[in-house]
Amino acid sequence: MRYSQYLLTTLKETPADAEIVSHQLMLRAGMIRKVAAGIYNYLPFGLRAVRKVEEIVRQEMEKAGALELLMPMVVPAELWQESQRWEQYGKELLRLKDRKDSDFCLGPTHEEVITDIVRGAVRSYRQLPLNLYQIQSKFRDEIRPRFGLMRGREFIMKDAYSFDLDEAGADAAYEKMFQAYRRIFERCGLKFRAVEADTGNIGGSSSHEFMVLAESGEDAIVSCSSCQYAANVEKAELIATAEATPEPAMDLQKVATPGMKSVEEVTTYLEVTPQRLVKTLVLQTDGGETVAVLLRGDRELNDIKLCRLLGCNEVTLASEEVVQQVTGAPSGFAGPVGLELRVLADHEVAAMADFIVGANAADSHYAGVNLQRDFTVEAFADLRLTVAGDPCPRCASPLESWRGIEVGHIFKLGTKYSEALGATVLDDQGKDRVLIMGCYGIGIGRTVASAIEQNHDENGIIFPLPIAPFQVLIAVVNPKDEAVLKASEDLYQSLQQAGVEVLLDDRDERPGSKFKDADLLGIPLRLTVGTRGLKEEAVELQRRKDGERTMLPLAGAAELLA
Ligand code: ATP
Ligand code: MG
Ligand code: MG
Ligand code: MG
């Protein structure tokens, strides 16, 4: 590719609305461009990285025996009504009507559609096991789209679904996907952990998240170096609380006043275990004491359900400054990080209060209420999640803690969808059997962003070779010098013939700005062709990763790199 004919506009300044490094660098390197909140254009340079990840995913999925297909993004409501998720899913599901007034949604995930395919096409156990996958744009109307491709509303996901006759088969399918995911993220050059996770909204019996380790990550995870236990903090907490006395739920009863919802009412309504109600918050109002409940769990689901329970339209999250003001949380408080926690107040309080939650760097979680009236916070709840140094639930060794970005998630689904939609096959006795499912997602764009989050320096991106948009950049120092241009062209041609992906920077720009762009773009290898080097019949090779330079003889340079 010739830079002079390529659409690649770099930015010198860091865009003001980009909070994390990967988002800043992806904008500055001309990889993506915002269309609307959480909706992006993938520009040519960015798309190449996205396609690289897709290709790795495809290869590993095929190796694991999965078959690629493509489902529609627009899904009729009927399918979602069969699983009852049409009612349950909440505001993340973007619903729309066609000209005949029929209901549709933009698929945020495709369990219903795939189960519909299988119930129609699979009749006999002989057609099993089956694992079907697609790489496709999903839409989720995220409450807080941010960080560029990291949390978009429209984003590319690889989603796979396995179908088996029995538990043993389903376990084997899960294990295969687990191993495929390890290989995928290893090949993408990522430092990651596979952690035990809560099954949340999608349901099912067990699940792992693949977490890329990064300070900017929205998830908190703990791991044990003695026994290899690793879990999402939320899951670790559930295990720890389940094993201990169910004290948090009892807190609620202790302070509940007449007219308040009971623990049972709340947990039944929210479909959560009492262990998820973690602490109570007591508010002093004009009319006496009112109780709020802190809730940990799946964010969006709770939002919706909380709204219904409280009879309000929205549960709002306040800014970090407001959180700090109201709660007196220490500085360094990272507001948006702790969104797993929810504050639940009774109806009247909800109407007047904004809910705010957050977490500080040490993962002690705080919650408070933004008071617009004569409220005072009587007791401010201070929750402590599992943190570094806490005993491992398996072997009691001290745990380590990390922040992570969820790039992949695998679930054992069981029969939730096959039962609801009636996906059965005949077994070898001629008896109808409900299929056992698994589902397996990877955020493609989020994986690219995570790789940049882990691989960059102050000058720009440092692409891991397997996902780099190009492997080699040729910096033509002075394209007006004919010998330089010719040598660069020759190199460009022979590298391309050898199958190397090359970006030839043939622009009429000062060398300094070309080198700056080269650093920003993060192409792993840079060949610099200039008048001085050519006098010695040599070109300079520089590695982006560590800046290491070597002179290569012009004659054999292409062969050396190919
Ligand atoms: P999160 O906890 O970050 O909201 P999720 O648990 O809702 O993610 P899943 O339903 O497990 O996401 O979807 C599978 C994968 O899709 C995730 O592991 C993630 O890599 C990716 N993904 C989910 N939501 C988004 C998004 N809004 N933008 C980009 N990628 C996403
Ligand atoms: Mg989500
Ligand atoms: Mg998640
Ligand atoms: Mg998930």
Report CA(478)–ligand 4 centroid distance (Å).
50
Report CA(491)–ligand 3 centroid distance (Å).
46
Q: Is 410 in the pocket of ligand 1 (CB under 6 A)?
A: no
Q: What are phi and psi of 421, to 5 degrees?
A: -100, 0
Beta-strand pair 103-106/206-213: unpaired
Q: Is 514 in the pocket of ligand 1 (CB under 6 A)?
A: no
The β-bridge partners of 503 are 473
Does 330 sit behind a cis peptide bond, omega within 30 degrees of 0 on the bond before it? Answer: no
SS3 state of residue 157: strand
The total number of residues written for the chain in this structure:
562
> Which ligand 1 atom sits closest to the C-alpha of 407?
20
Instruction: Please report, for residues 87, 359, 421, the alpha-carbon distance to residue 82 in angstroms, rounded to integers and kept in the order given.
Output: 10, 38, 6
Q: Is 152 in the pocket of ligand 1 (CB under 6 A)?
A: yes
Model pLDDT, residue 199: 57
Strands across the sheet with 382-384, in order? Answer: 354-359, 364-370, 382-384
CA–CA gap between residue 70 and residue 378 (Å, rounded): 55
Q: Is 155 in the pocket of ligand 1 (CB under 6 A)?
A: yes
Q: What are phi and psi of 328, to 5 degrees?
A: 65, 25
> Which ligand 1 atom sits closest to the C-alpha of 210?
18
Q: Is 406 in the pocket of ligand 1 (CB under 6 A)?
A: yes
pLDDT digits (tens, 9 = 90+) for 368-407: 333 337 333 333 333 345 667 878 878 989 988 888 999 9
Q: Token digits for 451?
A: 């790789």
Q: Which ligand has an atom closest to residue 446 CA? A: 1
Q: Which ligand has an atom closest to residue 138 CA? A: 1
Report CA(142)–ligand 2 centroid distance (Å).
7
Q: Is 142 in the pocket of ligand 1 (CB under 6 A)?
A: yes
By alpha-carbon position, which residue is closest to atom 22 of ligand 1? 443
Instruction: Please report, for residues 70, 220, 397, 447, the alpha-carbon distance to residue 401 in angstroms, rounded to integers and kept in the order given.
Output: 39, 7, 13, 21
pLDDT digits (tens, 9 = 90+) for 429-474: 999 999 999 999 999 999 999 999 999 999 999 999 999 999 999 9
Quick one: what percent of the chain has pLDDT higher than 70?
71
Model pLDDT, residue 93: 94
Report CA(444)–ligand 1 centroid distance (Å).
10
Write the single-letter amino acid at 251.
D
Please identify every residue whose CB atom is under 5 Å from ligand 4, which is an ion: 409
**Quick one: 318 exposed, middle or buried, by C-beta within 10 A (0-12, 13-18, 19+)?**
buried
Q: Which ligand has an atom closest to residue 211 CA? A: 1
Model pLDDT, residue 216: 87
Whose CA is closest to 251, among 285, 284, 269, 274?
Answer: 274
Q: Token digits for 55?
A: 């290709």
By alpha-carbon position, which residue is closest to atom 19 of ligand 1? 443
State the Cα angle at 62 between 60 and 67, rounded to 5°.
135
Using 50 as the pLDDT threshold, list the residues of the chain that sit under it. Answer: 201, 237-262, 269-270, 273-320, 322-324, 326-372, 374-384
DSSP secondary structure letter of residue 317: B
State the Cα angle at 308 between 303 and 314, rounded to 5°.
50
In 10 A of CB 227, how many CB atoms?
13
SS3 state of residue 25: helix
Whose CA is closest to 418, among 89, 162, 134, 53?
Answer: 162
Model pLDDT, residue 374: 30
> Is the Cβ–Cβ distance between 158 and 441 less than 8 Å?
yes
Report CA(406)–ligand 4 centroid distance (Å).
7
Q: Is 119 in the pocket of ligand 1 (CB under 6 A)?
A: no
Please identify every residue whose CB atom is under 5 Å from ligand 3, which is an ion: 406
Model pLDDT, residue 165: 97
Q: Is 159 in the pocket of ligand 1 (CB under 6 A)?
A: no
State the Cα angle at 27 between 25 and 30, rounded to 5°.
105
Report CA(183)–ligand 2 centroid distance (Å).
24
Residue among 54, 409, 411, 447 whose CB has most ligand 1 atoms within 8 A, to mutate: 409
Model pLDDT, residue 205: 62
DSSP characters over 92-137: GS-EEE-TT--EEEE-S--HHHHHHHHHHH--BGGG-SEEEEEEEE
Which DSSP helix (H) or strand (E) runs through 526?
strand 525-529
Whose CA is closest to 212, among 388, 49, 443, 52?
Answer: 443
Q: Which ligand has an atom closest to residue 405 CA? A: 1
Model pLDDT, residue 232: 81
By alpha-carbon position, which residue is closest to atom 13 of ligand 1? 441
Q: Model-level pTM?
A: 0.80
Report CA(550)–ligand 3 centroid distance (Å).
45
Q: Is 263 in the pocket of ligand 1 (CB under 6 A)?
A: no
Q: Is 407 in the pocket of ligand 1 (CB under 6 A)?
A: yes
CA–CA gap between residue 384 and residue 400 (Å, rounded): 15
Report CA(502)–ligand 1 centroid distance (Å).
33
Report CA(406)–ligand 1 centroid distance (Å).
7
Model pLDDT, residue 144: 78
Model pLDDT, residue 303: 47
Model pLDDT, residue 393: 78
Q: Is 446 in the pocket of ligand 1 (CB under 6 A)?
A: yes
